[in-house]
Amino acid sequence: MGFFSNIFKKSSFYESEYTVKDIMPIAQVIGAHANWKARMNKFMEGTLGYQLDPEVLSQSNETELGRWILQADEEEKSGEKRELLKQIHDANAELHAVASEIASAIQGGRQQDISKLNDRFQEIAKNLLLKLLDYSKR
């Protein structure tokens, strides 16, 4: 069992009988993550049409990317790629933590915090995408 799955083995992903357990191709993972990020951007703009729960946003392992990381960690044999997976995991967790902070700031009316948090969100998202692209090329 991989490092991350040992930590997160209680994930509902592994308990659900309705979830396809085959590993998603990385291009599809990147697309799913881009869709998640687009929804987050609409939320920050106030055009999403519904609120996002800060607690749910903080759960990075419950997204397509988070589940892919857990699966890839179990299957990956290369030490170099496993290290890159750890970096991807850490960046994804940080991105979700910032998304949660943004949702809390929006819901709390702390407009002065949102711009700074958004800058951080965008930078982390860019670095995460670069790491995913690097992983896909190896």
Higher pLDDT, 127 or 74: 127
Higher pLDDT, 7 or 106: 106
Instruction: Give pTM, 2 decimals.
Output: 0.81
Class in CATH terms, 3-137: mainly alpha
Q: What is the pLDDT of residue 36?
A: 93
Domain range list for the chain: 3-137
Would you say 98 and 120 are in contact if contact means Cβ atoms under 8 Å apart? Answer: yes
Alpha-carbon separation of residue 8 from 37, 71, 124 (angstroms): 23, 11, 22
Per residue in 83-133, pLDDT (tens digit) is 999 999 999 999 999 999 999 999 999 989 999 999 999 999 999 999 999
Q: What is the pLDDT of residue 21?
A: 56
Q: What is the pLDDT of residue 59?
A: 94
Higher pLDDT, 73 or 131: 131
Please compute the mean of the pLDDT values over residues 73-79 and round it to a whole number.
84
For the chain, give the percent of residues with pLDDT over 90: 69
Q: What is the pLDDT of residue 104?
A: 97
Q: Is 85 exposed, middle or buried (0-12, 13-18, 19+ CB in 10 A)?
A: buried
What residue has token string 């991989």? 2
